[in-house]
């Protein structure tokens, strides 16, 4: 017989998951009702409305995909792309690369706009690439690149795309609930995120939203969507008014998302974003004093996810392990080409607080002074 579940109580300051409030944990203990129970349908409707509010959108087609953020990414691409379609993708980190891989598996022709890791994509270059390819189905960028800590400017590109046939597709996995994201005002057509970062809900769902312009593309496909599980034409009939059974919704996770969003709106989005910014300033100042330096270009740094070089001569793996085993604090290592070279420190959702900043800075001070 395997032993009882008794993991340590960690302070999760990596790129996600973040810690979850006791209210969200408690919500998961709510007894199950059926996935077509009138009471559950009401909870679904409330949840979708709060997802719209956190995305700052009025898009009808807004709901949580029954999978993690990567399932939301896949849902975003497979529903609009058909074999041979062109798609423009910005690549300056792991998640831009992942978008490229997902789009290519749809048989699409990927037109890549690259930037160095740690730098944002050049907005002018993106706009020119869109102008040169007016028949592209979408232009896709990552708002908050989890592998580099870079914040991609969106507004100018969105304003340009509004007047084209091209859809604006945005990865907001590390952004939603942590920094301002105005889907409607910024002209975003398709956006996906996760639950376990800025929303501080356990991983397992991916809130997505599709504009009427995006749904027009979805509804005029020539071929079936290659994924049955992620096919919006069927998912929309369960999450929308028709309530046609598609698959069994992850009920307890919907409870968790519902409660997590209620916690967010009790605080208010503006206050929440300011809390993230304040915690970040305080952490950045403390890290600077300890000899850490920033990986992401100045002016484009995410408050909620800092990518940093360690002080000279410090072995990152050893120190990261010491933080975990001696202090129960998790920070993230680098991915891909920057593995072993940088750390990624998240102040996401519940963890964007002075208490968390203090715990990490104290532990680092102790270990680096030793």
Binding to its own copies (CB under 8 A): which residues in 58-97? 66-71, 73-74
- Whichever of 50 and 113 has its CB closer to its own copies, that residue is 50
How many angstroms separate the CA atoms of 50 and 190, rounded?
17
By CB neighbour count within 10 A (0-12 exposed, 13-18 middle, 19+ buried), where does 31 fall?
Answer: exposed
DSSP character at residue 124: H
Would you call 139 helix, strand, or coil by DSSP?
strand
- Whichever of 265 and 362 has its CB closer to its own copies, that residue is 265
How many angstroms separate the CA atoms of 120 and 91, rounded?
9
Would you call 91 helix, strand, or coil by DSSP?
strand
> In the complex, what is the shortest distance from the CB of residue 127 to its own copies, in angstroms, rounded to a whole number?
28
Options 193, 330, 352, 364; binder of its own copies; rule CB under 8 A: 330
**Interface with its own copies includes 177 (CB under 8 A)?**
no
Options 50, 115, 214, 264; binder of its own copies; rule CB under 8 A: 50
**Interface with its own copies includes 281 (CB under 8 A)?**
no
**Interface with its own copies includes 171 (CB under 8 A)?**
no
Q: Which stretch binds its own copies (CB under 8 A): 45-53, 109-117, 155-163, 291-299?
A: 45-53
Backbone angles phi, psi at 150, to 5 degrees: -90, 135
Options 132, 219, 265, 281; binder of its own copies; rule CB under 8 A: 265
Report the DSSP beta bridge partners of residue 306.
345
- Whichever of 224 and 326 has its CB closer to its own copies, that residue is 224
- Whichever of 23 and 281 has its CB closer to its own copies, that residue is 23
Would you call 337 helix, strand, or coil by DSSP?
helix
Query: Is the preceding omega at residue 17 within 30 degrees of 0, hence cis?
Result: yes
**Interface with its own copies includes 211 (CB under 8 A)?**
no
DSSP character at residue 336: G
Q: Which stretch binds its own copies (CB under 8 A): 119-127, 200-208, 303-311, 356-364?
A: 200-208
For residues 320-354, b (16+ Cβ closer than 10 Å) or e, as one string? bebbbeebebbbbbbbeebeeebbbbbbbbbbbbe
Please check whether residue 258 is in contact with residue 282, taking contact to mean a CB–CB distance below 8 angstroms: no
> In the complex, what is the shortest distance from the CB of residue 26 to its own copies, in angstroms, rounded to a whole number?
7
Using CB under 8 A as the binding criterion, the count of chain residues that bind its own copies stands at 78
**Interface with its own copies includes 270 (CB under 8 A)?**
no
> In the complex, what is the shortest distance from the CB of residue 17 to its own copies, in angstroms, rounded to a whole number?
5
> In the complex, what is the shortest distance from the CB of residue 82 to its own copies, in angstroms, rounded to a whole number?
12
Q: Contacts with its own copies in 95-114 (CB under 8 A)?
A: 98, 101-102, 104-106
Q: Which stretch binds its own copies (CB under 8 A): 42-50, 213-221, 275-283, 285-293?
A: 42-50
> In the complex, what is the shortest distance from the CB of residue 92 to its own copies, in angstroms, rounded to a whole number?
19
Please check whether residue 256 is in contact with residue 27, taking contact to mean a CB–CB distance below 8 angstroms: yes
**Interface with its own copies includes 271 (CB under 8 A)?**
no
How many angstroms separate the CA atoms of 50 and 68, rounded?
18
> In the complex, what is the shortest distance from the CB of residue 149 to its own copies, in angstroms, rounded to a whole number?
17
> In the complex, what is the shortest distance from the CB of residue 281 to its own copies, in angstroms, rounded to a whole number?
25
Pairing of strands 329-333, 11-13: parallel
String marking each residue 11-40 x if it binds its own copies according to CB under 8 A: -x-x-xx-xx----xxxxxxxxxxx-x-xx
Q: Contacts with its own copies in 138-157 (CB under 8 A)?
A: none
HSE-CB of 353 using CA atoms within 13 angstroms:
12
How many angstroms separate the CA atoms of 367 and 370, rounded?
5
**Interface with its own copies includes 202 (CB under 8 A)?**
yes
| Helix residue ranges, H only, 191-231 | 212-219
């Amino acid at each position: 017989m395997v032993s009882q579940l008794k993991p340590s109580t960690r302070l999760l300051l990596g790129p996600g998951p973040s810690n979850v409030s006791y209210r969200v944990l408690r919500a998961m203990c709510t007894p199950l009702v059926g996935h077509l129970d009138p009471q559950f349908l009401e909870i679904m409707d409330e949840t979708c409305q709060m997802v719209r509010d956190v995305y700052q959108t009025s898009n009808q087609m807004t709901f949580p995909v029954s999978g993690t953020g990567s399932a939301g990414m896949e849902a975003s691409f497979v529903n609009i792309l058909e074999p041979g379609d062109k798609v423009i993708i910005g690549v300056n980190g792991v998640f831009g690369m992942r978008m490229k891989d997902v789009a290519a598996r749809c048989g699409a022709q990927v037109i890549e706009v690259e930037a160095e890791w740690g730098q944002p994509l050049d907005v002018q270059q993106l706009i020119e690439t869109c102008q040169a390819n007016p028949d592209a189905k979408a232009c896709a960028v990552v708002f908050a690149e989890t592998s580099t800590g870079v914040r991609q400017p969106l507004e100018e590109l969105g304003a340009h795309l509004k007047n084209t046939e091209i859809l604006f597709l945005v990865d907001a996995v590390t952004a939603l609930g942590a920094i301002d994201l105005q889907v409607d005002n910024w002209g975003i057509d398709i956006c996906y995120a996760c639950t376990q970062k800025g929303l501080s809900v356990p991983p397992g769902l991916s809130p997505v939203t599709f504009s009427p312009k995006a749904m027009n593309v979805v509804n005029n496909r020539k071929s079936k969507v290659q994924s049955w599980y992620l096919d919006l034409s069927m998912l929309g009939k369960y999450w929308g008014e028709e309530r046609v059974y598609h698959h069994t919704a992850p009920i307890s996770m919907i409870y968790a998302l519902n409660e997590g969003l209620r916690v967010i709106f009790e605080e208010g989005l503006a206050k929440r974003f300011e809390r993230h910014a304040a915690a970040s300033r305080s952490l950045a100042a403390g890290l600077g004093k300890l000899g850490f330096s920033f990986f992401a270009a100045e002016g484009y740094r995410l408050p909620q996810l800092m990518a940093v070089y360690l002080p000279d001569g410090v072995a990152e793996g050893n120190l990261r392990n010491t933080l975990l085993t001696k202090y129960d604090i998790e920070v993230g290592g680098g991915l891909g080409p920057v593995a072993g070279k940088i750390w990624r420190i998240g102040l996401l959702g519940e963890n964007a607080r002075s208490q968390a900043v203090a715990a990490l800075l104290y532990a680092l001070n102790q270990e680096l002074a030793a």
